[in-house]
Structure 1
Amino acid sequence: MTGTLGSILVQIQDDIRGDFGWQLQHDLDSAKDLMWYCESKSKTNLLWSKDGRQRTLLQLQEGLISGPLTVLGAAAEPSDVRDAIVGGQRIIAADGAVGVLNESEYPGIAWDALLCVVSDGDGDMADLTMAAERGVPFVLHAHGDNIQQWIKLLDVLFLHGTPLILTHQTPVELEGMCNPGGFTDGDRAVCFALSQNVERVQIKLRGFQTESIGRWTGQTNPERKMRKLEWMKRVLDIAGVRM
């Protein structure tokens, strides 16, 4: 991803905050708290230290750039997983969409194809826990109103020693975290892949829609979620990845 595109995908977060009336400081506080929490736990789990998270990122990058990818969104169905497997594509799951892997005709192959889960912690905890148990890396995101969610999820991830990468949505440089751009788990997963030098043509979106709320979406206000999906579409359009 070019520096210009990356900057645009980060700058749009200011527009989104303005549209929803959210405060940048709240996003920043959540990000700093998340980083502190992980560093405090790294004494007993070196994977969660800054160096450990960087190693996880580098290892994940190798998988991301190695071939075609499917990003599973909140409307994903078992047929989407099948098509990804048949197409020889590795998988990135957006938060609770990871649950669709268990509904696949070939769940073992599907789980083996999963590279990471991009999450802000509001997906179904049972599904997220299954990914944690399998050692799937989590790209965990901090924003202003999800502190309780990431605390709850981190308790599960810590129990299983799950590898972590941390993301935020502020214009501030935070050592040990990255801001790939984007907004919802789905479009952020795309932005994250692009930030790791994945080419647009490698990415296939499955389970993305704007006309209704996907079944893997966490608890949400329906009206506000539909507005979020409109922003998701704008981010994907800017990124140049077609739904």
Structure 2
Amino acid sequence: MSRPPTDLTPHLDRLVSIQDEFRSHFGWDESDDLSSARNLISEIEQSGVEEWKRPNRAATVANIQRRLVLREQNVAILGAAIDLEELTTALDSPTLLIAADGAAGAISLLPETTAERAWSRLAFIVTDADGGDGTIEAVKRGKTAFLHAHGDNESDWIKLLKVAKNATTPPPLVLTHQTSREIPGMHNPGGFTDGDRAACIAMSLGVPIERIRMLGTNTREVGRWSGVTEKKRKLVKLQWMGMILQTLGIEY
């Protein structure tokens, strides 16, 4: 029996098996990813934030699935190299937005009325908590965040959760990880970087591939909205991102 899209199971098994390959490539240990994931869900479920309780996180996924899939919306995933022309063009059609971490910052550079329209179209952000100002603004605005745990971002997600808890309206959260384990209350839709993970999430939810567009996605240069990063390593990560998008069959 197939599982419902709200379980966020990977569109392809390959999207999870590739995680072992990039861990091996970078010399990372899955136990570190698992530790961060378990600590994240523990922190969330002891936070006392009503919106972050497990049943409400499940309801958040269901609400997003209805908005993106049942209403048959086109989806544009904003990558770190997004420019204002691409973003403005996307807003000219009935398209919902998904921001890969700090790419949400591009919205704030739009004229005020256009920016507010873009924020209203932002279905969610996908973040491992290092996207900087764009991510922080989205969180402060109460935009849904798919918050990801991996082995070396625990200090980052701790800081972002402090911002989220202090927001006027704490954002709805969905928790993701990149381990081979089943972690109740968390999901592994596959992927590696925030950009390709956003595509994995969209397809796990059931968005047809022909309704997904990748904007500002570039495997040859580090985009403006990448946040704090080491350029040489980031370029290698972008090659893995390209491999995952090709596995999905998504053009970029």
Q: Same fold (TM over 0.5)?
A: yes
* 2:171 matched residue in structure 1: 162
Q: CA deviation at 1:151?
A: 0.3
Question: Runs ≥4 in structure 1, deviation > 6 angstroms?
Answer: 1-4
SS of match in other structure, 2:46: helix
CA distance in 1, matches of 2:134, 2:10: 36
TM-score normalised by structure 1 residue count: 0.95
CA distance in 2, matches of 1:151, 1:80: 33
What amino acid sits opposite 2:251 in the alignment?
A: R
Matched residue pairs, number? Answer: 240
**Correspondent of 2:219 among 184, 190, 210:** 210
**Correspondent of 2:16 among 10, 17, 25:** 10
What amino acid sits opposite 1:224 in the alignment?
A: R
**Is residue 79–residue 104 contact of structure 1 (8 Å, CA) maintained in 2?**
no
* 1:109 matched residue in structure 2: 117
Which aligned pairs between 1:56-135 and structure 2 lie closer than 5 A? Answer: 56-65=60-69, 66=71, 67-105=73-111, 106-124=114-132, 126-135=133-142
TM-score normalised by structure 2 residue count: 0.92
CA distance in 2, matches of 1:181, 1:4: 6
What amino acid sits opposite 2:212 in the alignment?
A: I
CA distance in 2, matches of 1:4, 1:85: 29
Point out where structure 1 has 5 or more consecutive residues left out of the alignment.
none
CA distance in 2, matches of 1:4, 1:190: 11
What amino acid sits opposite 1:123 in the alignment?
A: G
SS of match in other structure, 1:69: strand
CA distance in 2, matches of 1:4, 1:170: 12
**Correspondent of 1:188 among 187, 193, 197:** 197
* 2:236 matched residue in structure 1: 227
SS of match in other structure, 1:18: helix
What amino acid sits opposite 2:147 in the alignment?
A: L
**Is residue 11–residue 203 contact of structure 2 (8 Å, CA) maintained in 1?**
no
What amino acid sits opposite 1:59 in the alignment?
A: N
Q: CA deviation at 1:51?
A: 0.8
Q: CA deviation at 1:129?
A: 2.5
Q: CA deviation at 1:93?
A: 0.2
Q: Is residue 175 of structure 1 aligned with residue 184 of structure 2?
A: yes
CA distance in 1, matches of 2:189, 2:31: 19
CA distance in 2, matches of 1:33, 1:3: 22
Q: CA deviation at 1:104?
A: 2.2
Percent of pairs with identical residues: 40
Q: CA deviation at 1:158?
A: 1.3
CA distance in 2, matches of 1:49, 1:6: 29
Point out where structure 2 has 5 or more consecutive residues left out of the alignment.
none
Q: CA deviation at 1:90?
A: 0.4
